[in-house]
Amino acid sequence: MRKARIAVLFGGTSSERAVSLDTGKNILKNLDRKKYIPEPVVIGKNRRWKIQGKELAPPDALKLAKKRGVEAVFVALHGKYGEDGTIQGLLEFFGIPYTGSGVLASALAMDKVRSSELFAFHRLLVPKFSAFSKEDRRKIFWAGRFPVVVKPADGGSSVGVSIVKRKSELPRAIKKAFAASEIVMLQEYIRGNEVTCGVLDVGRKPLAFPPTQIIPQKRGFFDYHAKYVPGASREVTPPELPREIIRKIQNAALLAHRVLGCSGLSRTDMIVKNKKIYMLETNTIPGMTETSLCPQAAKAAGIGLPELLDKIIQGALRRNTR
């Protein structure tokens, strides 16, 4: 059997670099060696790409990858430049197939304001929100009730996110969010069951995984610590919710995947309250670390990590042949 050479692109310059490094290493560890030859490509903080022991500018690294017979790139970058359509556009320019969503879907999903507007347009429930740029920082106000969620309008892993319980805490939370983004989002805090649901493109019909209910053990919400420190949260797959609600969660995740135009694998975060599903955001490059949610959900659906990676890669190769 001929093996396909797959570059695994990880690292990067965003605040989620550490998570990306863990994701990339876990992908390399779990790629099926009977089908694939992995080619690690690490993006340094200096924006140089390390491939075959050489640190190169991105165009030179991609030329070397093509010369070495790389057939596709497994994008394992998180945050800015990795999930916002930037790297996807670069790979398309060089004609190299890649995993995950395309330029537009990546950019839309990364922008929590635009994606929330899109969800609302398609009659999905979203928490009330306002968005402000740094130029508007003196005009920032919140007319709704407290608590309120203050977060960067882009980015992931809950970096820069705060739950503000009273007005006096707003300035500090806003400053923290602006440190991670040019746009800050103030969003109604909905107290309910926090759930997430992965969607995988399988042939023509996407598959919704069993949802996962997230129960932080020590903190009030699923923050960076709860996401990546083993034991910091309890994750229940499938959730301890009625079947009707589970179906609603899966249908909402499928619709989010479709309206954003996602490809490969996506994961949508939601809040369930009084049998209603509120959309939070969609992640177009879900983590693949030892504690990540999508591999756990895939396992509950009978799909191990090597098989999941295989399906993602095969989907990328199929899209390139259309």
- Name which of 270, 302, 265, 303 is nearest 287 in CA terms: 265
Active site residue 157: yes
How far the first Cα of the chain sits from its last, in Å, is 24
Catalytic pick from 14, 101, 162, 292? Answer: 292
Is 283 annotated for ligand binding? yes
Query: How distant is the alpha carbon of residue 214 from its chain centre?
Result: 16
Catalytic pick from 15, 106, 115, 157? Answer: 157
Active site residue 16: yes
Is 281 annotated for ligand binding? yes
Question: Cα–Cα–Cα angle for 149, 151, 154, nearest 5°?
Answer: 140
CA-CA-CA-CA dihedral for 175, 156, 30, 103, to nearest 10: -130
Active site residue 292: yes
Helix (H) or strand (E) holding 122: none
- Give the burial class of 144: count Cβ atoms within 10 A of its Cβ; 0-12 exposed, 13-18 middle, 19 or more buried: middle
Is 223 annotated for ligand binding? no
Q: Tell me whether the omega of the peptide bond preceding residue 306 falls within 30 degrees of 0, making it cis.
A: no
Q: Catalogue the active-site residues.
A: 16, 157, 292
